[in-house]
Amino acid sequence: MVSRLVLVLGDQLTDTVAALAASDKDSDIVVMAEVSDEATYVQHHPKKIAFIFAAMRKFAKRLRDDGWDVRYTQLDDSENAGSIPGELLRRAEETGASEVIATQPGEWRLIEALEDMPLRLTMLPDDRFVSTQEEFDAWAEGRKALRMEYFYRDMRRKTGLLMDGDQPEGGKWNYDAENRKPAPEDIAFSGPMQFTPDDTVEEVLDLVEARFGNSFGQLRPFWFATDQTQARRALTHFITYALPRFGDFQDAMMNDNRFLYHALISPYLNVGLLDPMEVCRAAEEAYKDGHAPLNAVEGFIRQIIGWREYVRRIYFREGPDYPRRNALNHQRKLPEFYWTGETDMNCLSKAITQTAEEAYAHHIQRLMVTGNFALLAGINPHEVHEWYLRVYIDAFEWVEAPNVIGMSQFADDGIIASKPYVSSGAYINRMSDYCKSCRYKVNDKTGPDACPFNLLYWQFLDRHSEKFSGNQRMNQIYANWRRMDEDRKKTILSEAEAFLENLS
């Protein structure tokens, strides 16, 4: 019997992933490869490359132990063809196989590269999600706006998570109003579970240090889980010690605490070490046992069966040009300090320094600090997109691009966000302790010490008034701007211009 090649990519590390499920352990051959094309299509954070390579090596061993014939290519293998199609062709020649079974990659770039390969290809949908594309497209059909909240309710009905018959548990679908508490004095959680690198991880760290040591971000210390058992321990640790307060402080930011009550499970979910339903069931269980309150558990489950599913579907619905959209025609270059953290704006400096050290920042840091600033300053959204894709350990285009291009930069013209996520310094001050130790004064609206977010906020609204002043959700803000004294408006606009001039 002629063997088929079974492709398993670095973010498809799940025993039941479609290509494996459709293959025959006795006759088919698994192909896994660390390749420079994937490691360099953007210059990823070294922690991200190390995480993926280490998890790939352990998953390959797991498959071998389970009886699969796995052809694994390490990055430093002298025969390495350098790309996924190249490696498949090489293995086809080696084994005589002419057919490839793949699970659909999470990025158009790689889907197209596989389709261009001169081998027979069966590409199966990636079914490690709660929703299907067909289901989403049917839901989207004929709707004027694709609001996540309504899609999420359907996912609650579909999964039965937090449902009381056909009604939402507690009577409400969404408890976000309870989830916006400012930064507390103290955090009673020591952070995510950390793992000491074993021999496999150490070997990968040495390789990554030698090959990618000069990229943005610090490789060591490295403490992420790299197999399913460890990822499950990290999940249990979060559910036990952090979930009960996750909701309350979900949006808070602190100078001296990088993780607050966040889960840090996105890398594990995104490469397939954790399953979204397994995670949600564990959280629901904690609610049923009286261990965690409804606002925390509903908020957490919504991120996974709501936002995570929704952005996946938007990415595949919108097509390959999505990361190139630029609805607001923003053209400014990304400021250098996004790579150094060297800026007097403490919120940005803290979020960027943390990103370099941890390859992680939580949602509000990404949305309301680095994202907010880029949008206010009119940075080219494609540059912003590439920055996010490079710097976070959980960044894969299907999840990163809708969050950046859509939610954060409004570059998709409002498919995801019903209004731009912009704020002045007041929001950052309310939700964090950053402003207390900043060289700028958050209460100064103009003058040499004025918080730049204050200046840029009004300048953004003024610049885009034609587009947004008719938006019902922004009526009040535009009314405030119109009421402002003309001289004051002029001062704000000219100081904002001077700041932007300096930025370039």
- Chain residues that interact with ligand FAD, rule: CB under 6 A: 262-266, 269-270, 300, 303-304, 307-308, 311, 362-363, 366-367, 371, 388, 392, 394-395, 399-400, 403-404, 407-408
Binding flag, residue 394, ligand DLZ (CB under 6 A): no
The smaller minimum CB distance to ligand SF4, of residues 83 and 423, is found at 423
Q: For residue 124, list its beta bridge partners.
A: 103
Q: For the purposes of burial, counting CB atoms within 10 Å of the CB of 291, is it exposed (0-12), middle (13-18) or buried (19 or more)?
A: middle
CB of 424 to ligand SF4, least distance (A): 8
In whole angstroms, the minimum distance from the beta carbon of 395 to ligand FAD comes to 3
Cα–Cα dist 350/377, whole Å: 19
381 vs 425 by CB, closer to ligand SF4: 425
* Cα 54 to Cα 15: distance, rounded to the nearest angstrom: 16
Among 97, 438, 461, 503, binds ligand SF4 (CB under 6 A): 438
Question: In 3-state terms, what secondary structure has residue 92?
Answer: helix
Stretch that binds ligand DLZ, among 35-43, 90-98, 380-388, 453-461 (CB under 6 A): 35-43
CA 301, distance to chain mean position in Å, is 16
Treating both helix axes as pointing N-terminal to C-terminal, what angle do 309-318 and 133-140 enclose, rounded to 10 degrees?
80
The C-alpha atoms of residue 252 and residue 250 are separated, in whole angstroms, by 6
| Cβ nearer to ligand FAD, comparing 159 with 403 | 403
Q: Are 156 and 163 in contact, with CB atoms under 8 Å apart?
A: yes
Residue 285 CB, shortest distance to ligand FAD, in Å, is 16
Q: 72 vs 238, which CB is nearer to ligand FAD?
A: 238
Q: Binding of ligand SF4 at residue 5 (CB under 6 A)?
A: no
Q: CA triplet 34, 39, 43: central angle to 5 degrees?
A: 165
Of the candidates 20, 32, 12, the one whose C-alpha atom is nearest the C-alpha of residue 72 is 32
Rule CB under 6 A: say whether 420 interacts with ligand DLZ: no
Q: How far apart are CA 398 and CA 9, in angstroms?
A: 15
Single out the segment in contact with ligand DLZ by CB under 6 A; choices: 29-37, 141-149, 231-239, 385-393: 29-37
Task: Give the position of tokens 């966000």.
Answer: 417
Q: Smallest distance, Å, CB 221 to ligand FAD?
A: 18
Beta carbons of 373 and 335 less than 8 angstroms apart: no
Beta carbon nearer to ligand DLZ, 268 or 453: 268
- For strands 120-124 and 99-103, give the pairing: parallel
Answer yes or no whether residue 126 interacts with ligand DLZ by CB under 6 A: no
- Kindly give the interhelix angle for 276-288 and 228-241, rounded to the nearest 10 degrees: 30
Smaller CB distance to ligand SF4: residue 428 or 477?
Answer: 428
- Nearer to ligand SF4 among residue 228 and residue 349 (C-beta): 349
For ligand DLZ, give the closer residue by CB, 103 or 372.
103
Residue of 189, 453, 457, 458 interacting with ligand SF4 (CB under 6 A) = 453
Q: Which of 331/443 has CB closer to ligand SF4?
A: 443
110 makes contact with ligand DLZ (CB under 6 A) = yes
8 Å CB contact between 325 and 405: yes
Q: Which 52-71 positions form the footprint of ligand SF4 (CB under 6 A)? A: none
434 binds ligand SF4 (CB under 6 A): yes
Give me the half-sphere count of Cα atoms (radius 13 Å) on the Cβ side of residue 312. Answer: 27
Which pair of tokens denotes residue 195? 């793992």
CB 192 within 8 A of CB 259: yes
Site track 110-149 with ligand SF4 (rule: CB under 6 A), x = hit? ----------------------------------------
Chain position carrying tokens 């659909």: 104
Contact 96, 121 (CB under 8 A): no
46 binds ligand DLZ per the rule CB under 6 A:
no
* Cβ-based nearer residue to ligand FAD, 34 or 309: 309
Question: Which entry of ligand DLZ, ligand FAD, ligand SF4, none binds 347, CB below 5 to 8 A by partner kind?
Answer: ligand SF4
Give the C-alpha distances (Å, rounded to integers) separating 127 from 5, 249, 298.
20, 32, 23
Closest to 263 in 3D by CA, of 293, 285, 296: 296
Binding mask 195-234 for ligand DLZ (x = CB under 6 A): ----------------------------------------
303 binds, among ligand FAD, ligand SF4, ligand DLZ, none (CB under 5 to 8 A by kind): ligand FAD
Kind and range of the H or E run holding 102: strand 99-103
Binding mask 62-91 for ligand DLZ (x = CB under 6 A): ----------------------x-------
Sign of CA dihedral 409, 415, 416, 417: positive
Among 6, 13, 18, 49, binds ligand DLZ (CB under 6 A): 49
Beta-carbon contacts of 46 under 8 Å, excluding residues fewer than 6 positions away, are: 208, 209, 212, 213, 215, 217, 218, 219
How far is Cα of residue 193 from the mean position of the Cα atoms in its chain? 20
Question: Under rule CB under 6 A, how many of the chain's residues touch ligand DLZ?
Answer: 17
Smallest distance from ligand DLZ to CB 44, Å: 5
Give the residues lining the site for ligand SF4 (CB under 6 A).
345-347, 425, 428-429, 434-435, 438, 440, 442, 451-453
Contact positions vs ligand DLZ (CB under 6 A): 9-11, 33-35, 38-39, 44, 49, 52, 84, 105-107, 110, 396
